[in-house]
Amino acid sequence: MIEVKNITKSYGSGDTAFQALKGISFTINDGEFVAIMGPSGSGKSTTMHILGCLDTPTTGEYLLDDKDVSKLSDEELADIRKDKIGFVFQSFNLLPRTTVLRNVMLPLIYAGVDEVERERRAKEALAAAGMTETHFLHKSNELSGGQIQRVAIARALVNNPSLILADEPTGNLDTMTGEIVLGTFQRLNEQHGRTIVLITHEPDIAEHAKRIIHIRDGAILSDTKHQQRIVHHHENI
């Protein structure tokens, strides 16, 4: 699914140029759950922006579903973000006085999907993200932090993307609620076969993935599969 070949990313020019990525390469297959981990300034956010088609590399190739996205126009990148990638951010980005169901339906409204199909797909995505039907008509400002993040996960799922990119998704949550959200990602990966890339600076968060790519100073330090730390509870919080 993802093939990154010797990607570099530089900002600025001449003496003031900063090289955020120094020729990184890796492959992520369909159905993998991978964490990209590193401290602040390591290059992990730059990597996430390139994987999410929010930025393009200075040199190197990025193939997503066998398509070279490193050379595409802004319009073509926007189409890939809309059709192939689901984003989950630390800050949730939900509309506060809008129902859970409508928040999840919004991407489908922009995509021109008809109302009946929008509602069906939104309910399916909410169920996959672990939300119960009793919460579908609640406003998002009436929910707990963990519930809000699961609504954000459902919104990321609703276009049936090839790839889910989660950028520090538990950063605004307490530890127990964060564990439940990470359990949601594990369930989506195990039961629904979703490909998930989790960006984090915390080793204990990264351990919830099945593979950890460790980045420091713009280079890959290690890329290892390991025994995933499993979350066994998915109750509503």
pLDDT tens by residue, 90-111 = 888 889 889 999 999 998 987 8
Distance separating the N- and C-terminal Cα atoms of the chain: 34
The CATH number of the domain where 131 resides is what? 3.40.50.300
101: in domain: yes
CA atoms within 13 A on the CB side of 88: 33
72: in domain: yes
Residue 114 pLDDT greater than 90, yes or no: yes
235: in domain: no
Chain centroid offset of residue 166 CA? 3
Q: pTM of the entire structure?
A: 0.90
94: in domain: yes
| Residue 106: domain span | 2-225
3-class SS of residue 93: coil
List the structure tokens of 28: 């992520």
Question: In sequence order, what DSSP letters do the residues of 183-200 get, joined into one string?
Answer: HHHHHHHHHH--EEEEEE
Residue 20 pLDDT greater than 80, yes or no: yes
Q: Provide the number of structural domains found in the chain.
A: 1
Residue 234 pLDDT greater than 70, yes or no: no
